[in-house]
Every structure is written in structure tokens, then in C-alpha cells.
Structure 1
């Protein structure tokens, strides 16, 4: 088979690289314009060349988790495949590309058309990120037959059960909470209470990653956050970057000196933002939290014989699982919702953000891949979208 190129095409970040590599390259999946450089457009990881990252304007190919702007995506892919980035020779390459669960047929067909007709890949596999994570986990744990992938990413949180390498489609659940919503919520709260930061998506996303954590007991943490002085061990200062002396914001204790630096005071926001993952109704989203959705998925949507195996193999992937305390809180809540006769075990992926890419890398090195891909010859001879739908969607 041709060289295999694995691309986890996330709504926020593309994780891409040849399957023989050790780590993928992480490329922002967007086009960026900077306020201070009006004539310059940054595509993907060209943002590293931008010196002042305040008030950035983002053009995104994804909206609400689905690929809707092919003009933007084409430019990002051109950059990713091009000489200045990964230098891919498409005609000699098999691509393994991820898409979201429950993707629209029109988007699927357009994706296949772009891969084969615009770029001319030798062969392709269009699959889900959770499928690659499941393959990687089950390959590393041959005694296990089932796992439940909890993928909490930029746009959504997906919960997908896999048995014997196949997804139980009717059991896949989606929660409309991801990293983007959490960052936007933090921006709104800070803008209302302290400083107007609604245009500072880039900086506030870093702030969220640096200071937020998942509380093991929300009410107890709220009680501490209401206290003053030394009794409040939750309050932190976040020093904002000025892009002259400070390239990235950082966390500081309230008593530290910040001469001439602009700071944000973060108190209950630190744990209230990630709490939305567990209680979406707090911000008006009428959906289950992650723990409740996991229990509902296994106990209601999955066959009884596989439930014990699924509870014992819950795999956490995606950027949001990196919040401090996430795994502990989720395990506690899932344990309280699961029947006592079942063991509950949560396994956080070693590298949650790139876990799907690593699973795809393992798949590329297995004999199974050749039976899963569609070749350019198949695409040309058997009706394009028909063979792709038959192979990829079943």
C-alpha cells in the first residue's frame, strides 16, 4: 500500500502526519487575521509568525461541529499538504481522515470528492476520531473486546460504544458542550465583571487552559470562593500578555507583584466553567451531563451482555479531559449512577489531544486497513460517492 497519511481533521486543530512518524503536527484549522497586520493572512500554523496575538479574527471551516466552509478548508489543507508544511505527494499517498459522528451526507460526499478529484489521493479512508481511538485502545489491550470512547473536543462531547471493532451506531450520543463553548462562557463572565475580552478568543482560551479545573464538590468550592483573604485558596490572578515582554499569560498568586501588568482576578470562574460539562442546564442547555449520558448510553442503548465490559473500559480523549480533576469527578459520578454489580474504570488516554491520530497510526500498520479504504481506481470505476458510502458508512 502507498504511504499512509493520518489526518485527524478537528474543528479546532488538525493533527496530521505520516503513520510512520512518532507524533503528528498540530495545525490550527482556521485562517487568522491580526488587528495590527491588516494585509497579512495567517493560514494554520503560520500564526506562530504573528508577534501580536491580541484581537485576532478567525475564519473557521467548521460551524457547530460540521464542515461548512470549503473555501477556508481548502486553503488550510493546501497549506497542510504543501511544501512549507508537511510536503505530501497525494498521488502516492493513502489518507486516513476523520469526520464527526452523524455527519451530513452532502458533507461526506463533498469530502470524498475533494480527496479524490481535487487532491488525487491514491486511496482514502473516511472515519470517526473515536473509531481510531477505539482501535488503538483495543489493539493495546487484546484481552478486551469492548470500550466506550468519551471524546470531549472543541465543538461537542461524543460518547461512542465499540464492540469487536464496530461502533454501536444507535447508542452514540452527543452533548452540545465543547471547548469553544467553555471559552466563550469564560469570555462573557470576565467581560461582564472585569474587563472587555470578547475579542480576545486566543488569549482567553489559553487562560481557560491555564487556570480552570473540575471541582470534586461544586457547592463546597463555591463556599470557599465566597471567603476573603487567606481563607480563599481558589482565587488566582492571571497576568495577561502584552506581546512585548510577556508572550503568553500566566497564573500568579494574589499576593504577587504585577507592576505595570494587566491582570484578571479569577475566583469561582475557575471551576464554574468546566462544570458546564457536567451540568449543561446551568447555562440553559437542556441536555444530560457527561456522567449521566455515559450511564444512559450503556444502560439504555447498549445490549445487556456488553454493559459490564463497557463500564470497565471507559476511555477519555479530547482536550477537555485535561482539566485537573476531570477524571476523578467523572469516575465518582459514573460510579454513583452505575449498578453496583458492575466495575467502573475510567482510562485517560496518554495523549488525549492526539489519541485519535495515534490510533490511526496503529491502524495504518495493520492488515485491516487495505480492506477499509477506497482506491482512486475504485472511485473512478464504481460511481464515486456510491462506493464511498458503501465502504465508509457501513
Structure 2
């Protein structure tokens, strides 16, 4: 029987059969300014000639799956002929859901998977649990790990001991990639150019030029300098979707500091925005969100756990999710944790090679474990016992 692993994130779906490679596909629908009437789903984004003013229709709001119509259309597209050609009667699915998901959402998901699509069996699980499984698989001698999952809607910190999550230690910070992109849109719109409708383009800008500062105040001083002295300044060429399909950063030696560029390119000049936006992951209070940053939340999580286990968690902190890809993120987090943690305990923060697909890879490994058949709910079980069998089996 084939096993399909779907890490159903709020921004991208990571999907693939357990014997194949992963595909990363936008988990949403789009409408563009140029063709208002047509709706594009998932990877049909590539068909849009002019993605300026792209309007996103997301199935997730604040990290929870609320728009089932959009989600169904995305899944129909993923499971359909163009993509994975799923034979539902012979396929088992591993699908992720957020921590502390609402029971109504869980019931709807059970119904759709078993009654509409009629999968042979299903396993609903947190993405962090798959990441922990992956970590323990690569380091079988370790007993504990702390998964830091910084995604589109939230950042979750979740401790695991022997693949069991410790619910008392789970922390959530309401800062994710969506908030960072929106904040960057506001800053650029206020200072330079109205880009509030350009989510797609500014998200690309964020991924291309933002980084996590190691010394925030020192970088702030550099960012205030004029012309060539400002070594942090970058000029970003915005796409016009005719000759320039994708925005890019101008090489430093081609930057013009006094006067204008000869070419008709539209330029964004970025200085302190480059590091002030990702700084919100460490200091949400900078923009009025009264919450702890990631380092404090990690320490708070570890301190809520039994004392004899704490050293193990400090030594096995695993980063997953798109925000951990900012250059300097791991180094800054490790430095801040070092200053907060007890002096005698070693601190180690691990950034996997591909933090975005790390939990998907964990699902792939899980599908090949001997216990897998014990963990799933089959369609027969579901038809006989209803939702209660899922609640008993899935430790969410």
C-alpha cells in the first residue's frame, strides 16, 4: 500500500509519496489583477503572467484551517491527475495539523479524508512530532529534543522525550512569516513606495535581503550612515514581469549612491529594514506584541520541565520552518540562549540542511517504521466507530 505524506502548512504544502521526493506547493488559491475572474490553485501560480497585485485566498487563518472550500480545491488539485494521481482505496495518508487543534476542525478533517476521498487509512499528527521522529532517527542515543517550528502563522516551541510530546512545555509565539512580510510591506509603503497589495513581491524581497542581526545596535548605527559608508544598504530591483520576471539584489559594486540609475528599473533601497523585520522573532514587543521572543520562550519552556531533563533539552534544540532560513538566525539564537541558560549547561542549536521539509522527511521515515500500522486509523475502523476512534489513536 502506498503512503502519501502531506505536511499541510498554512503557506506551503509539502507533499509526496513515502518512497519518492517531496514537492513544495503553495497551499492557497490566487487571483491576479489582470485576470480577476479566473482563480488559480496551488502551483498554477506559475501560469500567471503578471503576478503583481496578486490576491491570496488562504485556507488557514491565524494558524488554523477554517476555509474548507479553498482547502478542498487545493487537495483536489494535489490528489488529482495533474499532480499525484492518488488511488484513494490503496493509499494511506499522513497529514499534519497544528498543536491544540479545535475538535470541530479535526472532525471535519476526518470526514473529508475518510468519507469524501475515502483513503484506506489515515494518521493525523503535529508537524513537530514528525520533526522529533526525524531527529531521534538520526540521533538514536538522544532521549530528548526541543523542536522550534517557526512557520507562516506562529512560532511553536515543543519539547519531546522519547518521541512523546510534553504538553506542559509547549509555547506559542504569535509571530510568523506572514506577520514579517506584512510589516515589511508597511515599512516600505510608509518610506518609499505603496506596496500594500504586493504580498507576493515583498515576500520575495524579504527572503532575498533580510537577515538576523548579531549586534542589533551596532547594525543600526551602520544603517544610519550615508552613501558608501553604509555597508548594509542594498538596492533591490523590483520585477516588472515583462523584461524582469523576478526581483533581485543589485551587486554592491553596481550600486549608485549619488544620483539616479540610468536604466528604467524600479529600485527599493533597503537598509535597517533588512534586519529590523526578522528582529521581531526575538523581540515581538518592538511592534507592540506583548509576548516573549523565541530565546525567552525556549528557556521558559525548558524550565517548566523536570530538572533532571533540562540539560538534555538545551543540548538538542532543532530548528524547523521557513523563518529559520534567515542568515544568522541560528547563531543569534544560540548566543542569546547561552546568555539566558544556566552557565554550567552546554547549549546546542541545530539547523537541519532543509528546515522547511524536515517534518515531511520525518513523516516519510515514520511511514516505514514497524509501528506505523498500529498508529493509523483504517477506513473500516472509522466507519464502525466514528470520530472517537481517531481521538483515541491520535495523540494531538
TM-score bracket, shorter-length normalisation: over 0.9
Runs of 4+ in 1 over 3 A off after TM superposition: none
Instruction: Give the Å deviation of 1:258.
Output: 5.8
Counterpart mapping for 1:319-330 below 5 A: 319-330=322-333
- Residue deviations 1:106-164 (CA, integer Å, cap 9, x gap): 11111111110111000000001110010001011011111000000000000000001
TM-score after normalising by structure 2: 0.97
Counterpart mapping for 1:1-394 below 5 A: 2-21=1-20, 23-252=21-250, 253=252, 254-255=255-256, 257=261, 259-299=263-303, 301-382=304-385, 384-393=386-395
Q: How many Å separate the matches in 2 of 1:191 and 1:314?
A: 37
Q: How many Å separate the matches in 1 of 2:346 and 2:281?
A: 23
What stretches of structure 1 of length at least 5 have no aligned partner?
A: none
Q: How many Å separate the matches in 2 of 1:172 and 1:139?
A: 22
- Residue deviations 1:306-358 (CA, integer Å, cap 9, x gap): 11111000000100000000000000000111001211001001101111100
Q: How many Å separate the matches in 1 of 2:262 and 2:292?
A: 42
Q: How many Å separate the matches in 2 of 1:275 and 1:4?
A: 39
Q: How many Å separate the matches in 2 of 1:180 and 1:315?
A: 22
Tell me the secondary structure at the aligned position of residue 37 of structure 2.
strand
- Residue deviations 1:55-108 (CA, integer Å, cap 9, x gap): 011111100000001011000000000001111111111000000111111111
Q: How many Å separate the matches in 1 of 2:70 and 2:388?
A: 26
Instruction: Give the Å deviation of 1:40.
Output: 2.1
TM-score after normalising by structure 1: 0.98
Instruction: Give the Å deviation of 1:304.
Output: 1.1
- Residue deviations 1:240-297 (CA, integer Å, cap 9, x gap): 0011111110011333856001010101000000000000000111110000100110
Q: How many Å separate the matches in 2 of 1:151 and 1:389?
A: 24
Tell me the secondary structure at the aligned position of residue 356 of structure 1.
helix
Tell me the secondary structure at the aligned position of residue 102 of structure 1.
coil
Q: How many Å separate the matches in 1 of 2:361 and 2:122?
A: 17
Residues 1:72 and 1:15: Cα distance change in structure 2 (over 3 Å): same
For this pair of structures, how many residues does the alignment match?
A: 390
Q: How many Å separate the matches in 1 of 2:32 and 2:84?
A: 24
What stretches of structure 2 of length at least 5 have no aligned partner?
A: none
- Residue deviations 1:15-51 (CA, integer Å, cap 9, x gap): 0000101x31111111101111123211000111111
Instruction: Give the Å deviation of 1:370.
Output: 1.1
